Every structure is written in C-alpha cells, then in structure tokens.
Amino acid sequence: MTCQEFIANLQGVNEGGDFSKDLLKALYNSIKNEKLEWAVDDEEKKKSPSEGTDEKANGTHPKTISRIGSTTNPFLDIPHDPNATVYKSGFLARKIHADMDGKKTPRGKRGWKTFYAVLKGTILYLQKDEYKPEKSLSEEDLKNAVSVHHALASKATDYEKKPNVFKLKTADWRVLLFQAQSPDEMQGWINKINCVAAVFSAPPFPAAIGSQKKFSRPLLPATTTKLSQEEQLKSHESKLKQITTELAEHRSYPPDKKVKAKEIDEYKLKDHYLEFEQTRYETYIGILKEGGKKLLGNNGSEAPGLKKSHSSPSLNPDSSPVTAKVKRNVSERKDHRPETPSIKQKVT
C-alpha cells in the first residue's frame, strides 16, 4: 500500500472528518519502518473470563458497545449511527448458517429465531420488540445487528424446508438465512439490502501480500463511500472487470491432480470467492444503473418489492410473525459431512 492509498483509506474516519495529512504520512513511515502489531491492554490480559462475566451480571460493565462488528480492527467495524435513515422494517425469522469466514455454525446455534428487523443505514438491526425511534438499543440488539456493507442478499434456492427464505452473505463471509412473511416481502428485503450495499459500500482495501501461497481475501472497509453515485458505478465496473479477468486467468491454470489436497482446496476457495464477487458486483452495477439512491426512497413502482419506509413504522395487526419452528435441515443431521471451502454455496 502506498502512502496516498493509506491516506485515502482513512478519509472520514475522524468523527466524520479527516486526519492531518502530515500526521498520516508520519504514521505511514513509522509503520513501514517498524511493523505495527495489534496489542491487548495489560488489564484485559490479567482478567479471567469469569471476571468479565461477573461484571456483566452485576451491571458494572465499564464499556458500552458503540460499534457493530466482532473484529479487533477498528476499520472493519462500523459505528452505530442513531440518526441513520430507516429503509425497511418488519418481522423476520433468522437462522445462522455459517459463521465468519464461512465456518459451519456449531450444532445447537442454528435454530430459527424471530426478530423485528430494521434496516437502518448500512446496519440490519434484529430486535425482540417493534422499532421505536425514541427507544435506545440494548447491548443484545447491537450484538445481533448485521452490517450489510459489501453484502449480497439472494433467494435461498437451495433451502426448501420453509417458504420465502432469502440468504444474506456478509463481508466477513457469514451466511444467514431469513424468512419473510410473503414472497413480496422477501423480494423487498433482498432489493433494499442489495441497494444499500451497492450505494454505500466503500472501495475495498488492497489484499494482503506475502511469501506464502495461501489465498487471502481483500479487506472490505465498513465506512461509507465518499464517492458520488457516478464514481461509485465506475468503481464497481472497474472492480468487476478486474475480477472477471482474474477469474479467467485463475481457471486457465488449474492445479495438477498430483499436488497436495491443501493446494487444491486453496484453488477452489479462490475460485468460489472470485465467482461470488463477480455476482456481487454485477448485482451492484445493475442497481446503480437503475437509479441507486432513488430506489432507496421510492414507493415500489420502479423495482419489485421496494417499498417506502418510515422513521416510525407501524405493524399490520392482521399479519402474524413467521414461526420459529422448523424441521432439522439436512445439514444439521449427525451423518451429514460439514461444508468445506471446496464446496460452493449457491448465490443466486
């Protein structure tokens, strides 16, 4: 990463403003000369897991969550913005299919749970109760929240146990299934989520470079893009062209059958990543060409399933929330072989 790229990546993260360029240049040169390692507070090292639990139980936890995310990298977490625009809301049942990096969610944590979902800004909040603008979010609400930056929502064609189910694959490759109350509601959520992601996702950071052959995905920043809609479209088109070329080159040199299984898995993982990114950027480009931000605020006439949201949504008393009961999926049976990077997940 060049110094200019380093400065560009940090635009707007100083409480909405920019840091001094001289300061960032000094930091860049310092990090370049001496590797910067993530540090853990000495006090945190001394604490045992039980101490943290006791603090929480006694209501004396010193820290409050103000960012959405589970990483230790502040550039990959997104700040909670209470004043963000509400684009859609309603009841959804959620099932966690895969954790970060596509790892299969442990058995016992995959059950369906019903939430009142609110797509506010680039965050999908999952709350137990109906959304109220004046009510502050609980710690549990923030933990359940999902950032939709660089995400892709699509109909879960490979899940047949329940109707009206769509799949959401996040920037950190978590996979969540959501059940809506009707086909129109399902399509409405898919359209809104993808539209928010297409309009507001910032350009990705450069991928890590090393001497090892292990494949590494680029970092996808959670900050909102600073580009105009026209520049955003050009950025997506440029990225799609790059990925399409890279995918073609990747498939023109398949691994020899005699190589180690680990190398074959790495090849298949990269192939799956590039194919998914190609689909994601094609979706984003299509949305921006249809109007982008205009689709977020329309009344549903320009695209199927896109309905205007209000800051204080009301519920239809005749509509009942989706049920949380579900038969075991094939993937949850004891004799089912867990997914590996070599097995592709459908994205359409």
Mean pLDDT per 10-residue segment, the chain (348 residues): 84 80 88 69 46 43 47 53 86 92 83 92 86 70 88 93 94 93 95 95 77 74 88 94 94 86 88 94 94 69 38 35 38 40 40
Q: Residues 106, 175: one domain?
A: yes
Q: Is residue 257 part of a domain?
A: yes
Q: Are 67 and 74 in contact (CB under 8 A)?
A: yes
Q: Residues 138, 179: one domain?
A: yes
Q: Residues 78, 163: one domain?
A: yes
Q: Is residue 246 part of a domain?
A: yes
Q: Residues 110, 147: one domain?
A: yes
In the prediction, which pLDDT does 313 show?
36
Q: Is residue 137 part of a domain?
A: yes
In the prediction, which pLDDT does 89 show?
92
What is the model's pTM?
Answer: 0.65
Q: Residues 95, 193: one domain?
A: yes
Q: Residues 187, 251: one domain?
A: no
Domain tally for the chain? 3
Strands 146-147 and 78-79: unpaired
Q: Residues 174, 262: one domain?
A: no
Distance of CA 115 to CAs 124, 162, 179, 289, Å? Answer: 11, 17, 10, 33
Domain C-terminal end among 263, 294, 325: 294
Q: Residues 91, 12: one domain?
A: no
Q: Is residue 192 part of a domain?
A: yes
| SS3 state at 154 | strand
Q: Residues 176, 260: one domain?
A: no
Q: Is residue 48 part of a domain?
A: no
Q: Residues 97, 182: one domain?
A: yes
Q: Is residue 308 part of a domain?
A: no
Q: Is residue 130 part of a domain?
A: yes
DSSP state of 332: G
Strand order in the sheet with 146-147: 146-147, 123-127, 113-120, 86-98, 175-179, 165-169, 152-155
Q: Is residue 237 part of a domain?
A: yes
| Full residue range of the structural domain in which residue 158 is found | 74-201
